[in-house]
Amino acid sequence: MMKSEGLYASQGGPIILSQIENEYSIVEAAFKERGPPYVKWAAEMAAGLQTGVPWVMCKQDDAPDPVTFVGPNSPNKPSIWTENWTSQYQVYGEEPLLRSPEDIAFHVALWIARNGSFVNYYMYHGGTNFGRVASAFVITSYYDQAPLDEYGMIRQPKWGHLKELHAAIKHCSINLLRGQQTIYSLGDKREAYVFRLNSRKCAAFLVNRGGKDTEVSTQNSSRSMIRGKILDGWEEFIDHIPNYEDTTLKSNTLLEQITTARDSSDYLWYNFRYQHQSANTKALLKVYSLGHVLHAFVNGVLAGSAHGTHQNPRFTLENTVSLNNGINNISLLSVMVGLPDSGAFMETKGLGLRSVSLQVQQKQLILTNSSWGYQVGLLGENLQIYTDQGSSKVQWNKFSSSRQPLSWYKTVFDAPAGDEPIALNFGLMGKGEAWVNGESIGRYWVSFHTTNGIPSQTWYHVPRSFLKPTGNLLVILEEEGRGSPLSISLDTASITRV
């Protein structure tokens, strides 16, 4: 399709490089003898398209000719660096992993000095995982520490230092392309890479791996969030907790969540009806989940919550619950926090509940293969109460500070003046999702703290393109019931230059 539109450089278009497959080598061993033939087939298929530009296979050491990889694995292939990470994407519950501008620039310069042909940054511009597009446990803010941050604002000195390096490389590009390379040892951990075009023109890279780091001389800056108006006028709606009788989808086993929900919602209700005939009201509920979050309700009352982590999404909820003498409704809400993002046999990866049991006195009741009723999504989701039209389908009440799980909150606000980037400060909220004028600004999980005891993300980006001058509808789903919207403010991002 791109070839038919004339988009390749060989046709006068902007595309100078194409990639077939991405890091397939990570999963290749899982496919045993079928892996190498697939690599060969994919490379031949790509090259056979005759686009007139090079093809690359990222991290594929056995990439067949003429497809290249980062190595290269043949003297007639260029050295291509496809993913130079400027930081690292962050996940809920973990600290950000940062790279200094000195480290990034040093390795870019060293790559070019060693005859590297191409460097691609991942990411050069941060962004926002709007809606539910973030992968498992990844925060809504994505690569905010890139040279251009989540809001498109310049991060100094990272942006300026790399800009000056790029300019220096471009300035001596003729020497790099046509000059003769000579490598000189300058003593312990020091060397020079010299590209000499003639007796008067050369370019040299001086490498010093010893000593101490020195700070770069470009301008520094810091970003601050300026506290804005605290939003008020909140109304609330408590979502419905379904019983077994409310459900239309039934099964005599625990269904896998990804397949059942079909990416239409993060939420899947598992509902069971249990006849209890004993004066002893206490029982031990034990639920094993493949991930990611679980909220257990017994007769409409929250009986416990648990969640996994990015490193280990699987977990077990084990709580003592209170039962009625008679029929009891056990409603288990399994919650996804993004789809799995990598690995072999993706079609076999599962989420949701795997086993459920009740221990009543000394009797262990295995409920896994009992009759279960299912509901995909929450009532508020299915009615789209985060839109103007859907909001009118339920009865909203004045905010009561009751802090119940599965609470929906709504208010209306005006857009702040100016053109600075804006974000909602969710500092005292729990976990859920937020919508502005029907557009999801992403999941939030403020209650999942890092090892330093702080939220992984507090501010959530609201693009000004989502807003009207006045009367903007904000709807928040507070899943845990731990957060209060009374402290939410609409803040602006500002750069302070140093």
- Find the range with the poorest average confidence among 79-83, 104-108, 369-373: 79-83
Between these two residues, 77 and 167, which has the higher pLDDT value?
167
Q: Is 83 a catalytic residue?
A: yes
Partner residues linked to 434 by β-bridges: 442, 476
Report whether pLDDT(218) > 70. Answer: no
Report whether pLDDT(228) > 90. Answer: yes
Is the CA virtual torsion 383, 385, 386, 390 positive or negative?
positive
Average the pLDDT over 221-246 and give the result: 96
Cis peptide before 37 (omega within 30 of 0): no
Q: Is 215 a catalytic residue?
A: no
Report whether pLDDT(75) > 70. Answer: yes
> Which pLDDT score is estimated for 444?
98
CATH code of domain 381-497 = 2.60.120.260
Between these two residues, 362 and 325, which has the higher pLDDT value?
325
Average the pLDDT over 336-347 and give the result: 94
Is the CA virtual torsion 390, 394, 399, 404 positive or negative?
negative
DSSP 399-450: ------SSEEEEEEEPPPSSSS-EEEE-TT--EEEEEETTEEEEEEETTSB-
Alpha helix segments (H runs only) across 95-211: 101-113, 158-171, 173-178
Average the pLDDT over 232-250 and give the result: 97
Predicted confidence band at 213 (pLDDT cuts at 50, 70, 90)? low
Report whether pLDDT(279) > 90. Answer: no
* Percent residues over pLDDT 70 in the chain: 98
- In CATH terms, the superfamily for domain 244-377 is Galactose-binding domain-like (2.60.120.260)
Domains of the chain, residue spans: 1-77, 244-377, 381-497
> Which pLDDT score is estimated for 223?
93
Question: Could you say which of 23, 191, 256, 439 is catalytic?
Answer: 23
pLDDT digits (tens, 9 = 90+) for 132-173: 999 999 999 999 999 999 999 999 999 999 999 999 999 999
d(CA 351, CA 293): 10
pLDDT digits (tens, 9 = 90+) for 25-40: 999 999 999 999 999 9
> Which pLDDT score is estimated for 242?
98
Report whether pLDDT(217) > 70. Answer: no
How far, in Å, are 155, 301, 498 from residue 161 at the CA level? 10, 56, 15
| pTM across the whole model | 0.94
Answer whether 244-377 and 381-497 agree in fold.
yes
Alpha helix segments (H runs only) across 92-251: 101-113, 158-171, 173-178
> Which pLDDT score is estimated for 497?
75
> Which pLDDT score is estimated for 215?
63
How far, in Å, are 83, 411, 426, 467, 469 from residue 234 at the CA level? 45, 5, 15, 19, 20
**Whether 271 contacts 247, CB under 8 Å:** yes
pLDDT digits (tens, 9 = 90+) for 365-411: 999 999 999 999 999 999 999 999 999 999 999 999 889 999 999 99
> Which pLDDT score is estimated for 32?
97
Question: Could you say which of 83, 94, 164, 318 is catalytic?
Answer: 83
Report whether pLDDT(85) > 90. Answer: yes
Q: What is the mean pLDDT of the chain?
A: 94
pLDDT digits (tens, 9 = 90+) for 416-444: 999 999 999 999 999 999 999 999 999 99
